[in-house]
Amino acid sequence: FQKHEFFVDMTCEGCSNAVTRVLHRLGGVSFDIDLPNKKVCIDSEHNIDTLLETLKKTGKTASYLGEKSAQ
């Protein structure tokens, strides 16, 4: 899978919990949330549009940052 990095305007633990909730509901994803930097790194076979729409369901501003190169 490709790892994708998204910006999500998260300010607190509640925000990151909301992100976790919508991504779990979508299914088929593994992800890391970087709250201080407001980034969510998602490992998934879903396309970018689907992932972005899902992140926007939290009511937060979300945007696609690009592919995260495999380390």
Average pLDDT of the residues in 20-46: 96
CATH number of 2-68: 3.30.70.100
Looking at residue 1, its pLDDT comes to: 63
Confidence tier at 28 by pLDDT (50, 70, 90)? very high
Domain boundaries, given as residue ranges, for the chain: 2-68
pLDDT for 13-27, tens place per residue?
999 999 999 999 999
Buried b (16+ CB within 10 A) or exposed e, 6-27: bbbebeeeebbebbeebbeebe
